[in-house]
Chains A and B, each alone.
Chain A
Amino acid sequence: MSRRAERDTALLPPAAAPFTKNMIGAAIARREDHRLLTGHGKFLDDLDMPDTLEAAFLRSDFAHARILGIDTSAALDLPGVIAVFTGEDLRPIMKPMPAKVAHPDLQEMPRLPMALDAVHYVGEPVAVVIATSRYIAEDALELIDVDYQELPAISSTAAALAQGSPLAHEGARDNIAVHAVQRAGDPDAAFAAAPHVLSETFRVTRGGGHSMECRAVAARFETATGQLVVWDSTQAPHYARNALANLYDMPEDDIRLIAPADVGGGFGPKAQFYGEEAVVPWVAMQLRKPVKWIEDRRENFIATMMERTQTHRIKVAFDDDGILIALQDVFEHDQGAYVAGLQVPMITLSTVPGPYKIPNIHTELYSCYTNIVPTSSVRGAGRPQAVAAMERMMDRIAEYLGIDPGEVRRRNLIQPDEFPYRVGIMFRDGSPLTYDSGNYPELLSGVIERIDYDGWRRRQAELRKEGRLIGIGIACYVEGCGLGPYEGAKARLTNSGDVLVTLAAAPQGQGYETVYAQIASDAMGLDMRYIGVTTGDTGRIPFGQGTFASRITATAGPAVLQACQALRARIFTTAAIMLKLEADNFVFRGDRVCLAEDESIGVTLREVTQVANVGKHGITLLRGVPAGLETQAYFAPERAAYASGAHAAVIEVDPETGRITVLKYVIGHDCGTVINPMLVDGQVLGGFAAGIGNAMYEEQFYDSSAQPQTTSYLDFSLPSAIEVPPVTLFHIQSPSPLNPLGAKGAGEGGTIPAPAAIANAAEDALRPFSARINEMPVTPPRIVAAIAGRTPVVH
């Protein structure tokens, strides 16, 4: 019995005046590039901040311990050391930092800006030294004496959930942060009645963001005005500013938080709020001196948030044709020592069903406390793990029934005429999971055709006879993106006659200075050269959310569109009054506003600003002129949009070494309307490199006392140009009806299904051995272990 997709009434796009797409869709080279190519980037530690003191954090060597005392006297005596602060010294700001994404049943253990009575992960800050140089500050760290009483530590979700296991937090009820369930239909009845049921346990480990620039924060307190200025290499300036206002009990307008124009990558970890961000500005205020902290890579390995391991126990029910009847996935998520936010496992919880029609669904989360650095989003944000579990099972169904894996998927895909499609469960944005638009069959057939699927199946059979192990893997996904609650932009015609677009959002390489000038240009009908973009400064625009979850194009884009259309209207109204004409047939030509049918009749943009902005001192404004040519718009999407895609991989596996060589890789991508195709390709291919890292290389290790074993790039492999294979990439565009640009998100689609595609290909390559690949990343030892003791059978 198949479930008919529930049809909403047709969604109307939010009202927007029509606009011509000249710049939207154009591959404009980036304005940001010049300064970055010539060594004049404005990353935080590049900024000229004279007389700034430097901070170094003393971090716990134990995963779980009580702090009995801290002796800082020797550190204070070191020449060049200005001050040392412990948790005790920071009492006024020792308030719990709330989880970014929470849940009514969350057992939330307080996360303080600095450890006070106990530490809960190796790397947790216990003291901070402020000195004249970072070198001296680090010398001083070695002189601080901390008296720890070591406690047992939890190093995995299995340990967290085991009977009689110690507590990751003393005083907690247990090691479960939250237990959550999503259900649709009647899965129990469906499983009981189904002709076929398959189950498996998958362990998926993902690494950290590893942006090339680590975290950084600097602050200066203006004693004369009581204003705090904070520079923060963050993805979320307003979120951080609000956190500081709350912790310091200061009015939000007295804190100006600026993400530098250049932030060296974010990928999720910089969208969280950390104790260091709370401590450094506070210390600067106490000392009445500017202070900065530049994280180094060793700190980044142990104390910056990351994703880690999820264990999925998944079962699927299906009929003789491979049509899905029911899905159940119970998974454990390593939340770490504190819940900085539940977004990753909540996203996993609702991503498992993917692009398939599944009438009965049960997904269940156990988010577990461990004594390791908290986890939070890293590019993909919980979706890769969900896709891995589901896509591995689609291949298992195909193997079980003897049907081609591409065909099994094709039979189950949601069809292009079934949108908006209600999955039956909730998404992490609080709304019913409803896919807005897409063409999943075209993505699947597109990758199958372009990878020469039939050709490779023939070659696979022939080469197997020679003992060579070729594998083909497919993975399809749907990606919730463009999340609310809102994003904002201002547009102002400045007194020099240029348009300034002010985004609340902060970039880390996505090209906002270029892309939003393109959107503004089309919204106004004004040449892009007269439009500038500024970003990420809470002093310039009061409200914003941040760059994460592939959300900005779909939210800031429409905000810029709306603000610029409104600005255009105000400019034309002003010009009409200045020229004593009706306002309805103006255009921009160069730096002038003129009549469409007679361009000699017009005024310059500067003249317009003289009238509406500058005015004449004491003289009445021309009647009808709207004073002050600035507009603002906040766009709040009705719900998340859904990008989608498919990956296909052909690999060869060396059975002796376990080495995987990728022979061919194809990506099909649908992010709705493409604003700048060169930049979108960059996002997909960059995301793919991260996906290959997750699929084959990136894994951190902890011993049973939760001590990190991988603390440098000598232990932990990021893909270089040798490890990232070439990709054939194609796009389709299914515009989203949820915003006037039709835009979705492009930042994570390259990453999300890569581990699933590679794992599917690996198991396919090892089919003669009947071997199982149930753990990701698919590393050589795992390949070798999967076939150990087995003899290949070639038909």
Chain B
Amino acid sequence: MHPDVRDGTDKQVLRVIVNGEERRGVVDVRTTLADFLRHDLSLTGTHLGCEHGVCGACTVLLDGTAVRACLMLAVQADGCQIETVEGLGDGDELNPLQAAFHRNHALQCGFCTAGFLMSITGALRDGPVETEQEAREVLSGNICRCTGYAGMIRAVLETSEQVYGTQAAS
């Protein structure tokens, strides 16, 4: 990559594959991945809640792994596959996890929702979630201030059951 130094700032060309589509940009090297997604690529579904890696609102999947986009530089994602909330559904149709959130009132203000959806999506790819305690652990890396998590727990268990066909323990 060729750094293009202008006005004393370092810039780099960046190529990422976001939700299956190749996207390019030129960014200041200090631009975070979250800001690149939100402002350069206009993918504003990913949100910033703390910018120090705790709340999880900025969670995206990078080469299949859940990461905090607020703590990564955009240039660190050069050449990587990124999945954001905008890529979960199919057009207007909600995917099973999104539909489960809707049925179970697992969101209120919705600000944290994208981060939860991506964290859960990553976790469900690793295997089924069959008990309430396991569901709580999957959710524990993200903070929600509105819902108290009850609807999300049901949504995780229902989606796991739908995806893996195993009955959740009551």
Interface residues of A (CB under 8 A from B): 29-30, 32-41, 43, 45-46, 48, 79, 135, 209-214, 262-265, 267, 296-298, 508-511, 678-679, 681-682, 685-690, 712-714, 718, 720-722, 724, 726-727, 750
Contact = CB atoms under 8 A, between A and B. Distances in A.
Contact of A39 (B44, B57, B148): B44
B148 A43 contact: no
B132 A40 contact: no
Interface string B9-33: 0000000000000000000101100
A37 B47 contact: no
A712 B52 contact: yes
A212 B94 contact: no
A297 B52 contact: yes
Contacts of A211: 109, 111, 145
A39 B52 contact: no
Interface residues of B, number: 60
A528 to B, nearest CB: 17
Given A210-B145, A212-B49, A265-B145, A32 B42 contact: no
B110 A29 contact: no
B144 interface: yes
Given A39-B44, A297-B51, A685-B148, A722 B136 contact: yes
Nearest to A79: B7
28 contacts: A30-B102, A37-B88, A37-B94, A37-B113, A37-B117, A38-B45, A39-B45, A39-B86, A39-B114, A41-B45, A43-B44, A43-B111, A135-B28, A135-B30, A211-B145, A212-B47, A212-B143, A265-B145, A509-B146, A682-B148, A685-B148, A686-B145, A689-B149, A721-B149, A721-B152, A722-B136, A726-B132, A727-B148
B45 A40 contact: yes
Contacts of A41: 44-45, 110-111, 113
Contacts of B132: 726
A714 B54 contact: yes
B81 interface: no
A33 B94 CA distance: 10
* 6 nearest A-B residue pairs (beta carbon): A39-B45, A264-B111, A36-B110, A509-B109, A509-B108, A689-B148
Interface in B85-131: 85-86, 88-89, 92, 94, 98, 101-103, 105, 107-114, 117
A34 B109 CA distance: 12
B46 interface: yes
B148 A267 contact: no
B65 interface: no
Given A265-B146, A712-B54, A721 B139 contact: yes
A297 B47 contact: no
Contacts of B135: 721
A33 B141 CA distance: 22
Contact of B145 (A48, A135, A267, A727): A267
A212 B105 contact: no
A31 to B, nearest CB: 10
Contacts of A508: 109
Contact of B54 (A38, A213, A296, A713): A713
Given A33-B110, A210-B145, A211-B145, 9 more contacts: A29-B102, A37-B98, A38-B94, A39-B46, A41-B44, A41-B113, A135-B31, A212-B145, A263-B109
A711 to B, nearest CB: 10
Nearest to B132: A726
B88 A509 contact: no
Nearest to A684: B148
